[in-house]
Amino acid sequence: MKGYHSSRKHISIVLLLLALLGSTIGTITQTKQAHADSPNLVQNGGFEGDINPWYDFGGTAQTTSSITHSGNGALVMGTGQQGAGQSLTLEPNTIYSFSGWGKTTGTGEYAQITLRIVDGSGGQVDYQMPFTLSDWTRQARTITTPASISSATIYILKNVGSGYFYADDIFVGKGRDAEAWPFAANSIWNTPIGSNATYTSVPFQLESAYIYDGEPLVSTDANAPQRNAYTAGSTGANDFGQCNLDPAQGSVGISQGSLQLPDSFILDNWTRNPNFTPNNASGIIQGDGRTMAQFQPTTRCTTGGSIFGYRATDLDLYGAGIGGGHYGSGLSSTGGGIKPGELIGPGAIGHALQLDFWLERNASKNPPFRWPADRADYGSADNYCSQDPCKSNPAAFASFKPGSLLAITPSTTPESLGIKTAAGLKIFHALQDYGGYIVDDTGWYFQGLGADYGVDAEMESKYGYGFNTSNSATGGALDWYNDLNNIFSKLQVIDNNSPTTIGGGGTPRVASAPDFATTPPPAPVALDRTLWKVTSSLNTADINKVLDNNADTYWNSGQAQSSGQNIVIDLGASQTFNQISLDATADFARFPQGYEVDVSNDQTTWTQVFGGGGSGTSPSLGTFPAQTARYVRIQLTGGSISNQSWSVGELNLYTSANDVALNRSNWTVSASDTAGGTTPQLAIDGNATTGWTSAQGQSNHNAFQIDLGSTHTFRKLVLDDSSFPDNYPRGYLIYVSNTPNSWGNVVAACDNCTRDAVQSYTFPAQTDRYITIQETQTDTHPWSIGELNIYS
C-alpha cells in the first residue's frame, strides 16, 4: 500500500538509530497528566514550550508553534537521521495504550514513533508507529508489558527523506486504545468463549497456504477535508476496484456522499489476480475520534481525490462493532483484525479473530449465513458447497458459513499440536479463548486472517519471515505454516453462539477487555422526534412503527427491494444533524442493502448527503457533513441480492455533541412590531408552519430579540422560513450582549440575503444572554420567522 506502511529497509535503518539512542537517554520522572482517566506517562507529550525533557539526538529536533496538531506546540525534525526520546517507568504485566499524531512534508518522507521495552533478561520489543503521510494522522498501539522490565524508552525518529516530520500529542497510559483494540467489552469481538459453548466438528478442507487479509486503517484529524466517495468502478474484468469516473473507460462509480479523508492517503488499485484477491476492507476513522467509515474493496488513486469502494454502515469505535465492510458476511472491517504489536510482544491477543476460507468447498448454503453475519457473498446460492468436500456431504457442513464462530476445544493444548513459533502460540490462545468469525471467502487456495497492513512488516523484522506462508516455505516460515495448519485443523463451530449467548455463554474462559485508557469522545446526540411525521412509498399503514421507541416492532415494505422505494421524514421544523440510524435488527435479514439519504427544505429540491449499504445485525449508520433541513428522505438505490423486502424498526437522526440546539423553554422573545394574528412566541413553538411576522414591510427599523433566560455559550443561529418563502430577511446583523438594553457586538451579518428556506449562521463561540437580529435592507414583503434555533 503506497504511503501507508513501513518498508523493511526503513525498519533496518531505524533499528540502528534505536541502538544509538538507547545508550544516551536517562530516566525521567513523570508528572504531567494529559488525560482525565489514565495519567499520561510521557512528559511534555504536547511539546508546549521547549523540547525539555525530551533528549535531542542529532541536533535538529525542536518545537514549533506554526504547525501543530493541538495546543501551541509540536515537535519538528529536519533532514537526515534525527531523533528525540525519553525513558518511562512502566509496571510489569500491565496493559498500556501508546499513541501519537504525526505528519511529514511530502512524498518519500518516513518517520516513526517507537516504544522500546527491554525485559529483565535483555529481550526487547519495538512497538513502531510509522508515519509517511503529509496530513496529520493518528496511530495507536495497545501493548502488554513483560513480567519484568529493564527499561522502557519512547523514541521519535526521522531517518528517510529530505523534508521534515512533525509529532504531537504523544501518550502512554494504562488501558486500551479504541483504535488499536476497538469496541465495547461485550462486543462479539471482545467476548471470550464461555463454559457452556457447544462445539461441533466440521470436516472442512484446508488449503496449502495462509495469508493476511489486509485491512487498511487510517485515523483522520478533526480538520481533515471532506472528500467524495463512489462505488467501485472498473475498466476491465480484473480491475473491479478501479478509480473510474469516465464512462468511456468502463463502468463508473455512483455517489456515496463524502467523508473526512487525509489528502495524502493512497491505496493501490484493487485487482482480481489468480490465487490472490485482496478484500481491502478498510476503516477510515473520522475527525470526531469515534465514527469509522468502512469500504470494500477500497481504492484511492490520486492525492486529494475521491475514494472508491462499496460503503458499508459506519461504526462507533466504542459500540458493539458488528456491521461493516466485509461484504461476504456484513461484518466489521476492523473488528477481530490482528493489530500491529499483537504478534511481536509478550501479551496475549485479547479478542476474536477474522477468518477467511474457500467457501465454495466448505460453506453451507441452506441458509448461506448465520448470526452475527447478515449476508453471504454474491453468488453464494450457486457457488457455496459447489465443490468437494461439501458437495459430497452437505449435511456435515450445515453449521459452517459466514458468521460462524470457530474455536479450539478446551482440552486441546499447544504441546499436543507441536506449536513452535511465538506468533503461532498467540494465534492458538486467541482461537481457544475467543475464537474467530468467518467474515469472507478467499476464493482461492489459501486461508486468511484479517490483519492490519503493518503486521507483515513487523513479523519480518521480528522473526525474519512475513505473515504469508505456504507448505513450500522453509525454515521459520515453514514452522509458522505448520503451526497455522495444525491450529486450523482443530477449529470447531460454536453452535450455540447467539445474541444472548455470545461465545456460547457461561463462565468466560478469560477476563473481559480492560477499560479504555481515556474518556471516549462525546457521543452524537439524538434529535427529539416529538413533532416528526413520517411517510413511505409502500405499506403506509405501519410506517409509524419506525418512531414508536420499540426496536422489536418494525415497518416492512411488503415488496422486494427496488430503486426508488423511500421513507420521508418531516421534522416539523428545520434541524441540524449529521448522522442517521436505521435499526432493522428485529428482522435482520431484511435490511436496506443499498440506500441514499437526501435532505430538503421544500420537498422539491433534494440534495444527496450519504449513500451506502445497510446492516441487519447492527443499526445501519450513515454519517455526513452537518445539514440543516426540515425533510429527510431514505431512498433505495437498487434491489437486494435475494429479492428480500426491507424493514426498519427504529429511525433516528443525530447531531454532534458540539452542535446541540439550546433548550428554548426559558426563552423570552420580542419584536419591534408584529402583524395581527401572530406573536413572537410562534417563532419558537416547534412548528415551522406557524411563525412570527412583522406588521410592515422590511426596513432597518425591524428587530427581533431573544432573551435566553440566563447566560449560555453558543456558536450558531438558524432561521427557518420554509413556510414563508417570500418573507425571508433581505439583510440583517446579529448582535450578542449580556445587557438587555444594549445590543452589544455584531457576530454575524447577511447583506442582500438569498432566498433560502433555511438560513444558518456560524460564528466564534459566544457566551451571552441576549441576541438581537436587526434588519438592514428594505423590501415590500414583511419579515417572517417560522422557527428560530440557537446551537451550542
The per-residue pLDDT for range 751-772, each reduced to its tens digit, is 888 877 788 888 888 999 999 9
Produce one character per residue of 439-474: b if its CB has 16 or more CB atoms within 10 Å, e if not: bbbbbbebbbbbbbbbbbbbbebbbebbbbbbeebe
Q: Residues 135, 193: contact at Cβ < 8 Å?
A: no
| CA-based nearest residue to 230, from 247, 216, 248 | 247
Give the model's pLDDT for residue 778.
92
Q: Residues 705, 771: contact at Cβ < 8 Å?
A: yes
- ∠ CA 392-396-402 to the nearest 5 degrees? 105
How many helices (H) and strands (E) the chain has is answered by 7, 44
- For the chain, list the domains and their CATH numbers: 8-174 (2.60.120.260), 178-215+334-512 (no CATH), 218-331 (no CATH), 525-655 (2.60.120.260), 668-791 (2.60.120.260)
CA distance 234 to 272: 11
Q: Residues 744, 783: contact at Cβ < 8 Å?
A: no
CA distance 438 to 358: 11
Give the model's pLDDT for residue 262.
96
Q: Residues 640, 624: contact at Cβ < 8 Å?
A: no
Q: Residues 509, 433: contact at Cβ < 8 Å?
A: yes
Question: Which residue carries 479478542 as its cell?
Answer: 351
Tell me the pTM: 0.86
CA 286 to each of CA 221, 289, 576: distance values in angstroms, whole numbers, following the listed order = 7, 6, 19
For residue 518, give the C-alpha cell. 481515556
Residue ranges for the chain with pLDDT beneath 50: 1-36
Give the model's pLDDT for residue 22.
43
Q: Residues 618, 322: contact at Cβ < 8 Å?
A: yes
Give the model's pLDDT for residue 756.
76
CA distance 334 to 355: 12
For residue 436, give the C-alpha cell. 474467530
CA distance 762 to 716: 4
Give the model's pLDDT for residue 241.
56
Give the model's pLDDT for residue 247.
76
- ∠ CA 413-419-425 to the nearest 5 degrees? 80
Three-state secondary-structure class, residue 177:
coil
What are the DSSP E strand ranges found in 48-94?
55-57, 62-64, 74-77, 82-88
CA distance 224 to 208: 43
Question: What average pLDDT is seen over the chain?
Answer: 90
Sheet of strand 491-494: strand arrangement:
199-200, 491-494, 405-408, 436-441, 353-357, 447-451, 209-214, 469-470
- ∠ CA 726-578-339 to the nearest 5 degrees? 165
For residue 107, give the C-alpha cell. 512524498
Q: Residues 615, 589: contact at Cβ < 8 Å?
A: no
| CA-based nearest residue to 10, from 117, 148, 135, 161 | 161
Give the model's pLDDT for residue 10.
43
The DSSP code for 27 is B
